[in-house]
Amino acid sequence: MPELLDPSVLLDRALGAYLGFAIGDALGATVEFMRPREIALEYGVHRDIIGGGWLKLAIGQVTDDTTMSLALGSALLQGGSAALVSHAQGDDTLVRSIGDAYVQWLKSRPVDCGNTCQRGILRYLHEGTLQGSFNPGDGGNGALMRNLPAVLATLHDDTAFERLSMAQARLTHHHPLSDSATLGMGRLLRLLLRGATQHACQTWVAQWIGANPTFHITPYRGRATAYVVDTVQTVLHYLTLHDDFEAALIATVNQGDDADTTGALVGMLAGARCGAARLPQRWLQRLQPAIVRAITDQTRGLLMLAQTLHPSLFDPPSTGIPNASF
């Protein structure tokens, strides 16, 4: 793994991930809840950002996947470095700010909101609890889908990454498969942001599935529902099958079902792999400009925030040589 990272290369990969996520959301939403056969009948191969779908979206409009991620990112940026450091040291204030941001998001009448997300946000609003008890019905992909800003904000500190990811996830989802998927896909994103090759990505995925066999992808079962196992299998299958961003994303969304969310996650991971400069312009230009601006601002801010949790801040090297790696 390359240890010294050029900040401009890291920014390009992080922007690739966040913009790729929004592209996948906007592209996939058109065919969300359709079967592959229905998609083929209506579109041949669905490959353009055209809006529509069951949510009757405008061209380039994104859904809850992206807007909920932006809500999480806003809460992290508002808390700033003080809140992030306090949370890493065990304080809950930041998690309440994230819960408040999800409440505000829900009150803003988002175009869509999953049942488990809604139930969890309302529980936080009415009871003030930071998580519910284990619920076998919480195995959806809603916590996993929005974790990107938490990954960026804790990029240089694995313990903080795990703690923050679990805290934001448990606000709405309490299920071991949701937990494993959120951490697993977060770790894969961290790896790709550091410049992992497609071969390294495939090796990591094989090892992770070895440790988490429920998510096995051989043979790929062709299911792409919002059940977190189906979602992760679809994402890992197409991400490891195609090195190319466009090929991976088109194959993913044409699998239908929860296509905006599988699309967003493949867009995120493949976008980190290729970087923003290599995202297809025809897709990037269709995204709503306000969303592109918000994502660009957040990405820069979250990467700056990540410096707060650089390990050397807590454990300064005794040699006096600045620790430039992470």
Taking the least distance from each CB to Mn ion, the nearer of 178 and 261 is 261
Question: Between residue 256 and residue 295, which ones bind Mn ion under the rule CB under 5 A?
Answer: 258, 260-261
Q: Supply the DSSP string of 250-275, one letter for each residue.
A: HHHHTT-SSHHHHHHHHHHHHHHHH-
Looking at the DSSP bridge assignments, the partners of residue 301 are: none
**Which of these ranges, 160-168, 213-221, 252-260, 266-274, lies near Mn ion under the rule CB under 5 A?**
252-260
Q: What is the DSSP letter of 204?
A: H
| Residue closest to Mn ion when measured from CB atoms | 63
- For the CA atoms of 167, 312, 69, 34, the dihedral, rounded to the nearest 10 degrees, stands at -90
Structure tokens at 273: 């792999």
**Which of these ranges, 116-124, 146-154, 197-205, 254-262, lies near Mn ion under the rule CB under 5 A?**
254-262
Distance in Å, CB of 15 to Mn ion, minimum = 21
Distance in Å, CB of 33 to Mn ion, minimum = 8
Taking the least distance from each CB to Mn ion, the nearer of 233 and 308 is 233
Alpha-carbon torsion 256, 261, 263, 269, what sign? negative
How many other CB atoms sit within 10 Å of the CB of residue 181?
28
Question: Between residue 27 and residue 66, which ones bind Mn ion under the rule CB under 5 A?
Answer: 63-65
Q: Is the peptide bond before 219 cis (omega within 30 degrees of 0)?
A: yes
Taking the least distance from each CB to Mn ion, the nearer of 254 and 261 is 261
Taking the least distance from each CB to Mn ion, the nearer of 12 and 258 is 258
Taking the least distance from each CB to Mn ion, the nearer of 34 and 191 is 34
Cα 51 from Cα 172, distance rounded (Å): 28
Is residue 230 part of the contact set for Mn ion (CB under 5 A)? no
Q: Which residues bind Mn ion (CB under 5 A)?
A: 63-65, 258, 260-261
